[in-house]
Amino acid sequence: MQKVCASPEDALADLQDGASIAVSGFGTSYGFACSLLVAARDKGVRNLTLVSNGLGAVGQLRGMLLVASGQVSKLIVSFSSRPGMRTPADDLIESGDIEVELVPQGILVERMRAAGAGIPAFYSPVGVGTPIAEGKEVRYFDGKPFILEQALAVDYAFLKAYRGDRLGNVEMRGSSRNFNPAFAKAAKHAIVEVDEVVDVGVIDPERVGLPTILVDRVVQKTVEPDQAQLAPRRPADKPREYFGKPSWTRQEMARKTAALLPAPSFVNLGTGIPTLVSNYIGDRDITLHGENGILGYGRMVHGDEIDHDVFNASGQFVAPMPGVSYFDSVTSFEMARSGKLDAVVLGAYQVDQEGNLANFSLGDARLGGIGGAMDLVAGKRQLIIMMEHRDSKDRAKLVRQAQFPLTGVNCVDVVVTDLAILRRIDGHFVVEEIADGFTFDEIQALTEFELKQLAVSR
């Protein structure tokens, strides 16, 4: 059984207008089938439905390549846009030229896993009380609401892996397997772009990540990923000023958040500022979890320490710790939704006095990045929010009522800002710590709702 194609173009010979394509890859990082994306662009097929975690940026070899070339009419994604990154997708969505469906990451892979398993629909606790639930059937189980989600099948899956053989057995490395298994199962034609084609028998049977029956075609990559654009470093960490005084820096916020985490524990760190927490865990008994399929990673690494197949859910390269394990995103979100995580740390646009969280969109619910946040909130034991106390326009982020679309309802337990640490106790946010040089009254003046003061340390 010969499944190796001579070229990406040969692998896409039957790709036609109107096809639905699932594109693997996580965040804006490594793991995209760049050669297949370029071949699809050059083939000129149009009216495509693109299913993916995110689109990447303009100029990157990601799903954005097909959007920018005008070949996509519908998106089913976890990220349709990202803060500070204006793309052609934003314009096309706002004008109505591209239809978009934002889907939580865990639900995206579960919908595709269900399609591959012959399951037409399932009930999920994710997104209750948010725009994701609008228009969907809700049923109650054990007194709790669950949303009906439909299975999602596609015509093609463009996948990326380490090695493949003539039979179609495929090996994946590290945390880069993420969406690959679920996408392969949901596709009529699963096409895997590999770094290397090897002889049958070279891949250890225990390392086969996708067996031949789930793979239709294998092709060796012809286009190198644009690794120079992967996981850019953050700009210099300068404190903001309030009342003419410096606040905590992001690094200081990360250090204080790390100190709040229980040990032993399993903890998920969201995108943005929360990723910095991994640099302050040290040798404490805290195991970090990533939605892309990694359990047991440590600090962020650079230069010669980088392994391009070991990254966190933000696409930042990280150090694997002793005892690290890798798996796909379906398994990762099973861990999250089932309550196995002791703490989740997320960023936010707004938190209101009821403990509601808004962190995926600044207004238009079609534009934004849900990522894995809704899944994480649905199964969390403790939710810690890290964010600056005021936004870039000096507006309150701790508000009486959230104005942005909600990610989770009544779910926030602790907030760490660049000015204070606040804990929600008996329905009120209580200030536990204040940045040096500031007073409780000053923190209150920068916050819309009433705070309570319990024990303040400086």
Catalytic residues: 291
Cα within 13 Å of Cα(276), Cβ side: 18
Please report, as a single letter, which amino acid is at residue 417: T
Report the DSSP pairing between strands 357-358 and 383-386: unpaired
Distances (CA, A) of 390 to 71, 187, 241, 331, 397: 40, 45, 11, 36, 5
Neighbouring-strand partners of residue 101: 76
What values do phi and psi take at 203, rounded to 5? -75, 120
Neighbouring-strand partners of residue 385: 346, 415
Helices (H), 13-125: 34-43, 64-68, 88-95, 105-117
Residues near 291 by beta carbon (within 8 Å), at least 6 away in sequence: 26, 105, 106, 268, 313, 329, 332, 333, 336, 371, 372, 375, 376
Helices (H), 174-226: 180-186
What is the phi-psi region of residue 293: left when phi exceeds 0, alpha when psi lies from -120 to 50, beta otherwise? left
Angle subtended at Cα 418 by Cα 413 and Cα 419, rounded to the nearest 5 degrees: 85
E strand or H helix that includes residue 452: strand 452-457
Q: What is the DSSP string of 332-350?
A: HHHHHHTT--SEEEEE-SE
Nearest one of 367, 365, 409, 358 to 385, comparing CA atoms: 358
**Sign of the C-alpha dihedral, residues 432, 436, 441, 445?**
negative
- For the packed helices 329-337 and 105-117, what is the interaxial angle rounded to 10 degrees? 120
E strand or H helix that includes residue 149: strand 144-150
Neighbouring-strand partners of residue 344: 268, 383
